[in-house]
Structure 1
Amino acid sequence: MKSRGILLLGTIVLFGVVFPVPGRAMERTDAIRLAKKAEGGDAKARKTLFRKARKGDVWAEIVYGDLLARGKGGKEDPSRAIIWYRKAAMSGNPVAETNLGAAYYFGQGVPDDYIQAATWFRKAARQGFPAAENWMGSLRAAGLGVRRDSFRAFTWYRKAAHDGETAAMTNLGEAYMEGVGTVRSPEKGVGWLQKAAQKGDAEAQAMLGSAYKYGQGVPRNFSKAVDWFRKGARGGDAMAAYGLGVCYARGQGVSPDAVRGYAWLTVAQAMSRPGSPTAEIILRERNYLKRRMSPSDISRSELLAGNLLRRFSGKP
């Protein structure tokens, strides 16, 4: 289930969806303006931002930490970014608390520590910060830094989803679809997946494609499945690209097209984490199709896959 997010110039970015953070608008606006200039190489703006951070401006501390974490306009230095995130977090800012929790979760600038991650996420979640609420759901679902509890995970996901967190909408939809932490209800699951998918969440689009393909919570409809798989694949989701490839290979919702099928399966393979169960599933389907294709069709398909990857995944 989804939880990953980073701070980016005064906003929380979760899988491509920007969520405005709370705070005093003038301070945040000034910090964002200076950070954008600093990213463009403006040394004066960077110095001004640093000076404001040293004087205790919370938004300057957060945004300057972000510049260090991502190496924008200067050298990447996650360990120094943590110093600034911590200073801002100590003031009770939920964005800084969430960033600090994420740093401990991923081990960026500090040793990975799920207990510390949970501590900081909890602080922000208790202030009603949706991204942190979603994080707490993910930690509870996996039992990382806290006792595993699917019901409490579901509760956090529901709260974050109602607070507008797109990733939580996807997680809540998945929980309903699978009956994890709640009574199984594919209809409710599809409803939340549709909310997230319409906001551009690629993982939700992939799940919605599967729902239409197998008739879970909605009438079975291969054409709609292909539409959602295509949207998710273009958003960089490996399972969506896999679903689209299989539909082309088998002629489900589209005319059978082994070349396009193999191309999308190749894209899915490139998007997936090597050695993961997802990658193994994709590889088996890809090899099965490959054995039924001519060498010239495989060459055409691989050329198409390269073009698709450049367009939709940012890979060279």
Structure 2
Amino acid sequence: MSAQIPQPNELHQFLVPETVWETYQRAKSGNAESQYAMYAVYRYGRGVDVDPVQSAAWCLLSAEQGYPDAQTALGVIFNNGEGVEQSCTEAVKWFTKAAEQGDVYAMDNLAAAYYYGDGVEKSFAEAVKWWTKAAEDDHADSQLKLATAYYLAEGSDRNVPEAIKWFKKSTEKHSRDAMRSLGKIYREGDGVEKDAAEALKWYSLLAKEGDGEAQFIVGEMYLAGEGTEADRDAAINWFRLAAEYDYDPALEKLKELGVEE
């Protein structure tokens, strides 16, 4: 599992060297936010040398006071073994604390831990539970991961309608993976009734994002009249676009059609 850490907030991101001492004094006095700021100082080298051990120590102090950003960051620290002995179990412990306070990054990381069984017993139900919470809070990565989990699951865990719901939500943030998955689902009729026109819609959106494979597929669909009226000229235009993105099958298709690039 590759854990994700939230970017420092405005206070931490723009912390300048002349304020580090003041922040340190507040942190030493027990201010949780300042302790988290000191974590950021040492993690990102804000006016000091990067020091994973110091960074982890300040993060722990803040996390122990219940500061959710610090708890999430500490989960990442333990997950990756940055300045501490690596421990997925400790990572899960801190992700859980932050997730229970509503931190979407922690929810996303906790869901992944349950999904892959990192530091905790593998549980599809728990993974879906936490990804759903984060997805409902509009966390883009979680929306895509939730959709993918439902789509790739086996047996009774598989839920294509839910996968489609979250893939569509993810496309609102221009997720290419979500567009590709929707195109595939509708073109193949995988868990839903085949709908070539709907497949063409999603592949076309992806193609317009500059995806060579999608451009090629749209070309194929126009050539075969799949989901639309057959249109050789439109197909060739899409194959040419895909070829410009060095998509080899498009180059081969143009040669097969006797068309110059």
Q: Say yes or no: TM over 0.5.
A: yes
Equivalent position amino acid for 1:225 in 2: W
Partners of 1:200 and 1:258 lie apart in 2 by 23
CA distance 1:200–1:292, shift in 2 (3 Å):
closer
Whether contact under 8 Å (1:212, 1:225) holds in the other structure is no
Whether contact under 8 Å (1:104, 1:111) holds in the other structure is yes
Partner of 1:247: 217
Cα drift, residue 290 of structure 1: 7.0
Partners of 2:22 and 2:242 lie apart in 1 by 53
What's the secondary structure of 1:141's corresponding residue?
A: helix
Identity %: 22
Cα drift, residue 206 of structure 1: 4.0
Partner of 2:39: 65
Are positions 1:199 and 2:173 aligned together? yes
Are positions 1:261 and 2:242 aligned together? yes
Are positions 1:50 and 2:24 aligned together? yes
Cα drift, residue 230 of structure 1: 4.5
Aligned length in residues: 241
Partner of 1:278: none
Equivalent position amino acid for 2:111 in 1: G
Out of 148, 151, 155, the residue aligned to residue 129 of structure 2 is 155
Partner of 2:229: none
Residue deviations 1:50-69 (CA, integer Å, cap 9, x gap): 33323222222223322432
Partner of 1:226: 203
Partners of 1:122 and 1:88 lie apart in 2 by 16
Cα drift, residue 75 of structure 1: 3.6
Cα drift, residue 99 of structure 1: 0.9
Larger radius of gyration: 2
Cα drift, residue 194 of structure 1: 1.4
Partners of 1:73 and 1:230 lie apart in 2 by 45
Partners of 2:154 and 2:86 lie apart in 1 by 27
Partners of 2:167 and 2:2 lie apart in 1 by 16
Partner of 1:96: 70
Normalised TM-score (structure 2)? 0.73
Partners of 2:138 and 2:251 lie apart in 1 by 43
Normalised TM-score (structure 1)? 0.62
Equivalent position amino acid for 1:210 in 2: K
What's the secondary structure of 1:255's corresponding residue?
A: helix
Cα drift, residue 215 of structure 1: 4.5
Partners of 1:64 and 1:54 lie apart in 2 by 10
Partners of 2:252 and 2:87 lie apart in 1 by 46
Cα drift, residue 135 of structure 1: 1.8
Structure 2 gaps, min length 5: 223-233, 256-260
Equivalent position amino acid for 1:261 in 2: A
Residue deviations 1:71-91 (CA, integer Å, cap 9, x gap): 355543333221221111111
Residue deviations 1:209-255 (CA, integer Å, cap 9, x gap): 43354444473335423344357x67xxxxxx46436437x544663
1:140-151 → structure 2 map (5 Å cutoff): 140-151=114-125
Partners of 2:74 and 2:83 lie apart in 1 by 10
RMSD: 3.4
Cα drift, residue 192 of structure 1: 1.2
Partner of 2:231: none
